[in-house]
Amino acid sequence: MALTGLALLGFVLVHMLGNLHLYEGPWETHEYAETLRDLGTEVIPRTWVLWALRAGLIAAFALHIHSAYSLTRMSRSADRRYAGGRDYIAADYASRTMRWTGPIVGLFVVYHLADLTWGHFNPDYVRGDPYHNVVASLSSLPVAIWYLVANVALATHIYHGAWSMFQSLGINSPRWNPLRRRLAQGFAAVILIGNLSFPILVQVGVIDDGGRSVVRERLEADHAVGDALAPPGGAP
C-alpha cells in the first residue's frame, strides 16, 4: 500500500507540476508533452521511456487497488459492528473515508484518461493539443465541478495516505515525527491548490483559446510552409 502509494504520490506531484505549463500557453504545453515523449531519445527509441513510466504507473495503480482490496477484505472479515455505535477519537475524516475517496479518484482517473488522452468524452479533441483539450473539457460547468470534487477527494486521500505511508514504512523517529503530519498536510495542499487552479481558471476564462486549437493551426501552418518550400513535383 505504502510503496505503491509513494509511486503514485510522485506521479501526482509531477503531473500537477507539468500541468503548470498550461499557464505558459498552448504551444509551450504542447512542447512539454513532446518532451515527455522525447525522454531518453539519446539512448533508446522515442516514447519508450514514456511507455516504461506508464507501465510502472499502471502497475502501481493495479497493486495499490489490489492492496486496498485485500486490506478491506481482511478488515471486513475481522470486524464486527457495534450495535450501539462507536465513537471516533483519533480517526479523522480523511482516514475514515479512504475507502470512498480511493474509488472516487479511481473513477476520475478513468474519466480523465477518456477525456484528455483518448478523447472519447472530449467535445473537441485535438490530438497533440492538451491545452485546447483541457479548455474544451473544463469550460463545461458540470465537468469542472466533477474535476473539483475528484481533486478534493484526491487531496483528502493523499493527506491520510502520505502520513500513513510514514507509519507503514516505519519512518518514525521522535526527532522528525511532528514533521510527518505537516508534510502530509503540505503535500496535500500543494496538490489541491495546483490541480484545482486549472478548472477554476478555465471557468473564469484565464485559460482560454477561444475554441481554436493553436497547436493544430500552427502545425498546419508549418506544414503549409513546408509544402510551399518543397519543390513541386519533386522530380528532377
Partner 1 sequence: MSPTEPSGAAHGAQGEPPDGPATLNLRLRVWRQDGPEAPGRFETYEAAGISPDASFLEMLDVLNERLTLDGQEPIVFESDCREGICGTCGLMIDGRAHGPQKGTATCQLHMRQFSDGDLITVEPWRAGAFEVIRDLAVDRTALDEIIAAGGYISVNVGAAPDANLVAVPKEAAECAFDAAACIGCGACVAACPNSAAQLFTAAKVQHLNLLPQGQPERWARTEAMVETMEQFFGSCTNHGECEEACPKEISIDFIAWTNRDYVRAKLKNRKLAGQS
Which residues are near partner 1 by CB under 8 A? 71, 74-91, 95-96, 98, 160, 163-164, 166-172, 174, 177
- List all residues 6 or more positions away from 3 whose beta carbon is below 8 Å from its beta carbon: 169
Q: Which three cell numbers stand for residue 230?
A: 518543397
CA 189 to chain centre: 15
Q: Compute the least distance from the CB of residue 136 to partner 1, in Å.
A: 39
30/180 with CB nearer partner 1:
180
What is the identity of the amino acid at 58? I
Distance CA 214, CA 117 (A): 18
Angle between helices 214-229 and 26-38 (to 10 degrees): 70
What kind and span of H or E run contains 145?
A: helix 141-169
Q: Choose between 147 and 166: whose C-beta lies nearer to partner 1.
A: 166
Closer CB to partner 1, 125 or 166, in the complex: 166
Nearest CB to partner 1, comparing residues 45 and 77: 77
Cβ of residue 16: shortest distance to partner 1, in angstroms? 24
Residue 213, amino acid: S
Would you say 164 or 213 has its CB closer to partner 1? 164
CB nearer partner 1, residue 88 or residue 227: 88
Question: Nearest distance from residue 7's CB to partner 1, in Å?
Answer: 16
The conformation of residue 35, written as its DSSP 8-state character, comes to H
Minimum CB separation from partner 1 for residue 84, in Å? 4
Distance, CA of 94 to CA of 105 (rounded, Å): 14
Cβ–Cβ under 8 Å, residues 123 and 140: yes
Nearest to 111 by CA among 67, 72, 144: 144
Nearer to partner 1, 2 or 33 (CB): 2
- Which are the contacts of 82, defined by CB distance < 8 A and separation ≥ 6? none
Q: Taking the complex as a whole, how short is the minimal distance between the CB of residue 59 and partner 1, in angstroms?
A: 19
Q: What values do phi and psi take at 133, rounded to 5?
A: -60, -40
Closest distance between partner 1 and the C-beta of residue 10, in Å? 19
Q: What's the closest the beta carbon of residue 164 comes to partner 1, in angstroms?
A: 4
Indicate the angle between helix axes 141-169 and 177-203, nearest 10 degrees.
170
